[in-house]
Amino acid sequence: MGFAQKRSVKSLVFICLIFLVVGCDTSEKPAGRMPPTLSVGEPAPDFEYQPLATTEVSLKKFSQSQGKVIYLDFWASWCKPCLISMPKLDRLRSELKEKGFEVIAVNLDDDPGKGREFLAKHRVNYPVVQATDDTITDLYQIYGLPTSYLIDRQGVLRYVHQGFREGDLSKIRHEVEQLLN
C-alpha cells in the first residue's frame, strides 16, 4: 500500500471516528420500541393469538386465560428439546387440568405450515397457537427454545424455564402444584 493510500485510509478512519463521537449523544432518549424487561412477580404481557391448527382467523387475547395456572411454552418445529417436552407437558396437563392447569404453546415457526406439519405427527391436547404480532419474541424475551413461563391464576409471572432436559418435568410439576394449591 502506497503513501497516498495509507493517507486516504487514515483520513477515512478519522472521519468515521468523528461521526461516531458526534453521533453518541447520550442525552437523547432512544426512539422506537424497546422490549420490556420481564421479571418474576410482574403481570405477564398480553398478546393476541389464533389457533395454529386452522387457517381460520379466530383471535383471542392471552389475558382471557386468567383464572388458570398457565404454562406458556414457546416452541418451533425444528426444536429438538421441544419434541421431548411437548408429550410430557401434554401428560402433565391431562393429570392437572381439572385443578385449573393449562398449557398454551406458542409456535414461532416463520411458516405456520411447518408447525401444523409437526402437530400432525406429534399431537398434543392442549391449545397450540400462533401469535398475531411477530414482536412476541421481544415481548417475552425469547432467546432460545423452548422458553416457557409459568403464570399464576392472576396473570402474574412466577417461574421462567429455558430449554428442556429429561429431569425438568419433576421441577415443573412441583412449581405448578404450588400454584394450584
Q: What is the pLDDT of residues 31-82, one digit of tens each?
A: 434 345 688 999 999 999 999 987 666 788 888 888 999 999 999 999 999 9
Grid-cell match 389475558, residue found: 63
Highest mean pLDDT among 12-16, 51-55, 79-83, 164-168: 79-83
In whole angstroms, give the CA distance from residue 158 to residue 163: 17
List Cα–Cα distances, 13 to 4, 9, 24, in angstroms: 14, 6, 17
- Total residue length of the chain: 181
Asked whether the beta carbons of 8 and 121 are under 8 A apart, the reply is no
Grid cell listed for 157: 409471572
Q: Where are the alpha helices (DSSP H) in 72-181?
A: 80-96, 112-121, 136-139, 168-180
pLDDT (0 to 100) of residue 61 = 87
**40-180 to CATH, choices 3.40.630.10, 3.40.30.10, 3.30.450.20, 3.40.50.2300:** 3.40.30.10
Q: What is the mean pLDDT of the chain?
A: 83
Q: How high is the pLDDT of residue 133?
A: 84
CA-CA distance, 108 to 6, in Å (whole number)?
49
Domain boundaries in the chain? 40-180
Extract the C-alpha cell encoding 17: 471516528
pTM comes to 0.78
pLDDT over threshold 70, residue 179:
yes
Categorize the per-residue pLDDT at 168 as very low, low, confident or very high, splitting at 50, 70 and 90: very high
Does residue 124 carry a pLDDT above 70? Answer: yes
**What pLDDT does residue 7 have?**
47
Reported as a pLDDT band with limits 50, 70 and 90, residue 135 is: confident
